[in-house]
Chains A and B, each alone.
Chain A
Amino acid sequence: MKWSKGRLAFWLAWLWLVAAFPLLAAAGETSSSAKVAPSISTAGQPGETMADWQARLELARLLSYQKKYAEAATEYEKVLREKPDSVEAKTELGQVLFWSGKRAEALEILEQVPLEKMDDLTRTVLADLYRAQKRYDRAEALYRAYLDEHPEEWGIRLKLAELLSWSKQYRESLDQYELILQARPDDVQVRRKYALVLSWAGRKAEAIKELRKTLGK
């Protein structure tokens, strides 16, 4: 049976539609620009709040900068009630108690902090507290450790020199004084202390010579 042109065209069109429309539908799958929901990741979200104890720690510091040591101590104690293991709060409270003259309490607090967790300032405060309590061996160890890291801290070296002389380690004390005087030869007060230790060590002629230097002779 011979098909007419019209019939042929019809059935070709039909076949085309059967095959093509699904493909056209498939092609349309990529064309829509679907929206993405707002991002779930919260990296960098603004307005992060801080725990009360952290804000209180900052307040305590601010009060200590203002030399309001009693108020600062109160705030540090509140922090420690909430965070009893806070090294920051203990070391800073220790410093504040020290500066406000409450040495026994300062020592009690600072002895709760492992040495390796203390900053340099706190270690010198602890050393001063030991020195005041005549626990010279502990103070000496702390001053020496500090001076290993900061050899030109002449104020600390002077404290060590004094401490050594009080514990009758005159040779060691004089070594420290000589280091200070090499760096600061015009420091009259240090030279006078040096002279004093020389006299305690039985080196009176040298002591006299040093004292004369301080009097401009």
Chain B
Amino acid sequence: MQIDARGMTCPKPVVLTLEALPKLGAEEFLEVLVNDEVAVGNLTRLAEEKNCELLVVEKGGYTSMTLVPRTASAPAAPAAPEPEAIEVQVVPATGDAVVAVGSDVMGRGSEELGKILVKGLIYALAHQETVPKTMLFFNSGARLTCEGSESLDDIRELEGRGTQILTCGTCLDFYGIRDRLGVGGVTNLYAIAEIIASEPVVTSI
């Protein structure tokens, strides 16, 4: 679910978020777009109070804040030194971004939570105004582009919007899932190295 709260003044973004949170289904999350520091500060507090994991992505001129409710089955990640919001700096809105996905979980801690987070992030990426130019999937990240992946539809949407989707062939073979590849092309480490070396913005997840 997405709320575009850009241009709204306090307390409107919080009010809309409070109304939307109870309507989320299991494993659903809520993305709120805001464009002032008051809304960012307020939603950060709200996420904490409502026991949500928070993904903050700075965009050109606005901020995407994704609230992922922590369910009983997916408790908060074990105490990291700083239990603050996970910050993911992704895409300057240029369309030049390369996103490298080296795992099917995001961050360290609970694997269950890490899977929810990676799914949330790919969903969010697929719903940006500007999508990445290229997304590279390697190691266990290769599972995300294969049948059975909960992110498959979102990655197909990214591809449909022009993102080049490339998965590491060695990795597909290692996990024995090459025949289940559901989206994009297969590449090798040489091609991945070339992309990483030649592109100005590469973000690793």
Question: Do A and B assemble together?
Answer: no
Interfacial residues, chain A to chain B (CB-CB below 8 A): none
